[in-house]
Amino acid sequence: MKRFIQIGAVVVLGSVLGSACVLADVRGDVGRGDVGASGETPAGSSSSVYRQGNTWVQEIKGTLGNAKVIKVSTDAGSVRVTGSDRGDIAYTLRKKVYSGTEETARKRFEQFKISAWTVGETATFRGSCESQNGRTSADFDIQAPRSVTVVYVRTDGGGVAVSNIAGRADLQTEGGSIEMDKIGSSIVAETSGGPINVGSAGADVKVDTSGGSITIRSANGMVRADTSGGSIEVGTIKAAAILNTAGGSIRAQEIGGNLEAETAGGNLDIGDVWGTAKLSTAGGSIRLNSASGRVDADSAGGSIRLMQLKAGARAQTAAGSIYVEFIGPRSAFSESRLETTAGDIIVMLPSNLGVNVRAGIEMATGHRIRSDFAELKITSEGGEYPGGPREIFAEGALNGGGPLLKAQTTIGNIEFRKRK
């Protein structure tokens, strides 16, 4: 037997821009909230119609039994799911119509249909609309038990917000912001246009936006964040992270594993990385506070500042200064290369680090190589010009030698300083 249900146990929010909407049909057993095809208020719920400014609103409130899985899909509209201590599921649906008369508004309310049902431990909501001629929208606000294991949302247009659930969140919108906080397990979220904000997540996080910023305060798993245009900012991440933006800055406070961060245009400001770091910008500066693994840093035009490095590094910029601080230990240091076309290079080294140094300034007029280490031999080529020699080189083995450390600038000074 075919059954129809309107509104139910989870969040399907439909902001429908259509004059004709079709009520989805459901086969088989269903939970509380059954209604017929006429669009009447679900059994056990209450409904009221009132005016709010220039908008008519139909507000429907009701409850459903407990469910572990919440699924929401709608052609358009915003969705909010909030976990709480309650044992059942409560919903509030507000349909909104921009209409002059209540009679016209009620007709449009009837055209917007949402079905909801429960099967086993799964509560499902669906909203559908065939045409796009009207000015109708709907907002879903769902209160669910915090013990929910999965929240699954798909909307063709509207914001999505999920918070305070023990399980995972799988969210997608074709246009709108996504907000998440206190998610006990993993997160997968995607929007075709809008920002993504994550408070805390108990496991891995994978987020993607075609145009908007991304913010993740904390995650107990790996993070993958991609945006086609916007900044990325992350706080404390307990595992590895991959951060990519086609245009915007990247900031990270602490990464518990390896880090890959790349931007097509913007600065990189990175805190502490407990692993390797691959940092790249097509136009901007790079700053790293510390890293326990090897660091690779590339900038098409900007300064590079890498501090408290336990392993080796490769730093290259087309135009800008380079500052690198190596702290050892000796066993972790590996071959390193620092290179800039136009800018100074400053290298901080522990007094006991074993390393072979090779440095050079290609156009040395007016520039020099300075060293706190007596083992470095500084030479020049090209004769004495009014501004100094044409090329300057430095080479030597510090503390018995070790992996190669090469520093090269076309125009600029080079300094090797003892770290205190």
What secondary structure letter does DSSP report for 42?
A: P
CA 390 to chain centre: 48
pLDDT at 370: 97
What digits encode the pLDDT tens for the residues 301-311?
A: 999 999 999 99
Counting residues of the chain whose pLDDT is more than 90, the rounded percentage is: 64
Task: Examine the pLDDT at 4 and tell me if it is beyond 60.
Answer: no
Both tokens of 373, joined, read 């280490």
Taking the CA of residue 158 as centre, how many other CA atoms within 13 Å lie in the half-sphere pointing to its CB?
Answer: 28
**Contact (CB, 8 A) for 35 and 13:** no
Radius of gyration of the chain measured on its C-alpha atoms: 30
Residue 22 clears pLDDT 80, i.e. is over it: no
pLDDT band for position 371 (50/70/90)?
A: very high
Query: What is the structure's pLDDT at 136?
Result: 73
Q: What is the tens place of the pLDDT at every residue in 286-299?
A: 999 999 999 999 99
Note the pLDDT tens digit of each residue in 142-160: 999 999 999 999 998 899 9
Residue 122 above 60 pLDDT? yes
* Residue 234: band (very low, low, confident or very high) from pLDDT cuts 50, 70, 90: very high
CB 149 within 8 A of CB 166: yes
pLDDT above 50 (res 66): yes
Share of the chain above pLDDT 70, in %: 86
The pTM assigned to this predicted structure is: 0.87
> Residue 130: which pLDDT band, with cuts at 50, 70 and 90?
low
Please give the pLDDT value at position 137: 75
> Which residue is it, tokens 């991440």?
237
Residue 209: band (very low, low, confident or very high) from pLDDT cuts 50, 70, 90: very high
- Tokens, residue 136: 């109708």
Residue 283 to residues 169, 266, 268: CA-CA distances in angstroms? 35, 6, 10
Residue 384 has a pLDDT of: 59
Mean pLDDT value across residues 132-150? 83
Q: Which residues of 307-336 are buried (b: 16+ CB within 10 A; e: fewer)?
A: eebbbbbbbbbeebbbbbbbbbeeeebeeb
For range 199-213, the mean pLDDT: 97
Look at the block and give the residue holding tokens 């522990």.
350
- State mean pLDDT over 133-149: 84
Segments of 65-149 assigned E as strands: 69-74, 78-84, 89-97, 113-119, 122-128, 136-145
Q: What is the distance between the alpha carbons of residues 402 and 312, in angstroms, rounded to a whole number?
A: 12
Q: Give the per-residue pLDDT at 96.
A: 81
CA 231 to CA 212: how far, in whole Å? Answer: 7
What average pLDDT does the structure give for the chain?
87
**pLDDT band at 76; cut points 50, 70, 90:** confident
Q: What is the mean pLDDT of residues 259-286?
A: 97
The answer to whether 375 and 397 are in contact (CB under 8 A) is: yes
